[in-house]
């Protein structure tokens, strides 16, 4: 029988040990935190692209390092090319607008007199519109100070985009290293899952990997296909800033907003300058691209995963709004695991973790 003094001594000693371990864990986390996002993305990319790596490795005769380097370079190229096209298109469009303004080639139509009769803001809008018609450069210089915050926002946006692209490149390189040690990584992940979750740990690890691949194929894959098809239509009909619109279509498709939200104003604009036949063909093409969701989603989302497609989709969309793009995967994984736990709790006998020790 331990005395009160011995019990108190043990409690103090245990508290000190726990505090030291917790302090070490927090310190390690703070040191690692700058690399956390690229590493998480690297793991997601490695899991999502691992089947492709295995096929490429087989084609190359089992040369893991060469297959990993080749797949890494291809993935960086897929990321870099759209980024370059977007930047080049934005800069090119900006230069054309500036040249048109300075040379007086950009004309603004005269405002209708009815604009001045609009309540509250009509007179102000009419004067500014009329000034833009007669002296566009003067109108821009007049509103220039008000546009400075917008310019700052645009610069900040491109700066953040540059940082994000750099993070993705680092993540792709990390994924390249993980390809080589993929088998060891899978074994380690399963061991950790078993230590935490007991006899269900290995199934959880398999479900996590399958869910990540499902989201990569069913949401990002479908969004990429839709953006590619939309971009082909934009280039065919020669829509100004086609690269920018294509990237916007990709973002809209990932966020699961109907594509017609972007297509509709572009279709209206195309009918103003293109021939009727070309515009109708473009309209039909846009409708076809917009209707690919019901066919592609069931085909790719949930493939190879014993989880209902709506569960994965809800988790992915909810995670996207909660944590950004990375939440697309984290939300799908967490929601799928939660659904699996609920299924086990309702329909299976739960085996206590102590029985596995």
Output the CA torsion sign for 340, 341, 346, 352.
positive
pLDDT score of 353: 41
pLDDT score of 144: 56
Output the CA torsion sign for 84, 85, 90, 94.
positive
- Write out 190-241 in H/E/C secondary structure: HHHHHHHHHHHHHHHHHHHHHHHHHHHHHHHHHHHHHHHHHHHHHHHHCCCC
Q: With bands split at pLDDT 50, 70 and 90, how would you rate the model's confidence at 352?
A: very low
Mean pLDDT lowest among 66-75, 80-89, 178-187: 80-89
Give the Cα separation of 164 and 158 in Å (integer).
10
Mean pLDDT rounded to a whole number for the chain: 76
Return the top range by mean pLDDT from 1-5, 145-149, 194-198, 266-270: 266-270
Give the Cα separation of 71 and 186 in Å (integer).
19
| Residue scoring higher pLDDT (288 or 180) | 288
Cβ(223)–Cβ(254) below 8 Å: yes
List for the chain the helix, strand, coil content (%; round to 5). 85, 0, 15
pLDDT score of 285: 92
pLDDT score of 23: 92
Mean pLDDT of the region 1-26: 82
Cβ(218)–Cβ(297) below 8 Å: yes
Report whether pLDDT(164) > 80. no
Cβ(275)–Cβ(219) below 8 Å: no
Cβ(256)–Cβ(315) below 8 Å: no
Q: Each residue of 165-202: pLDDT tens digit?
A: 777 788 888 888 888 877 777 777 778 777 777 777 77
pLDDT score of 354: 43
Q: Each residue of 249-284: pLDDT tens digit?
A: 887 887 778 888 888 888 888 887 788 888 899 999
Mean pLDDT of the region 57-70: 87
- The residues spanned by each domain of the chain are 37-180, 197-346
């Amino acid at each position: 029988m331990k005395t009160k003094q011995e019990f108190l001594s043990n409690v103090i000693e245990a508290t000190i040990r726990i505090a030291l371990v917790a302090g070490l864990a927090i310190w390690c986390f703070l040191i690692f935190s700058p690399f956390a996002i690229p590493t998480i993305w690297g793991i997601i990319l490695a899991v999502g692209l691992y089947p492709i790596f295995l096929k490429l490795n087989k084609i190359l005769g089992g040369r893991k390092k060469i297959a990993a380097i080749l797949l890494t370079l291809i993935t960086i190229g897929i990321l870099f090319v759209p980024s370059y096209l977007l930047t080049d298109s934005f800069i090119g469009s900006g230069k054309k607008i500036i040249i048109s303004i300075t040379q007086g080639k950009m004309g603004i139509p005269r405002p209708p007199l009815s604009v001045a009769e609009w309540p509250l803001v009509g007179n102000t809008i009419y004067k500014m519109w009329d000034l833009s018609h007669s002296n566009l450069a003067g109108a821009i210089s007049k509103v220039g100070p008000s546009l400075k915050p917008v310019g700052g926002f645009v610069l900040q946006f491109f700066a953040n985009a540059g940082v994000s692209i750099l993070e993705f490149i680092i993540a792709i390189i990390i994924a390249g290293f993980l390809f080589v040690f993929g088998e060891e990584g899978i074994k380690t992940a399963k061991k950790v899952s078993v230590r935490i979750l007991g006899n269900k740990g290995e199934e959880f690890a398999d479900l996590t990997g399958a869910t990540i691949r499902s989201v990569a194929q069913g949401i990002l894959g479908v969004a990429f296909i839709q953006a590619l098809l939309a971009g082909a239509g934009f280039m065919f009909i020669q829509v100004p800033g086609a690269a920018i619109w294509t990237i916007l279509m990709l973002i809209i498709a990932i966020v699961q907003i109907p594509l017609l939200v972007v297509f509709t104003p572009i279709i209206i604009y195309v009918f103003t300058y293109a021939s009727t036949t070309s515009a109708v063909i473009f309209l039909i093409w846009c409708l076809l691209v917009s209707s690919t969701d019901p066919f592609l989603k069931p085909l790719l989302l949930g493939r190879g995963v014993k989880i209902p497609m709506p569960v994965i989709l809800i988790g992915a969309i909810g995670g996207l709004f909660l944590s950004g793009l990375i939440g697309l995967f984290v939300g799908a994984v967490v929601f799928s695991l939660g659904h699996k736990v609920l299924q086990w709790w309702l329909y299976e006998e739960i085996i206590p973790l102590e029985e596995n020790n």
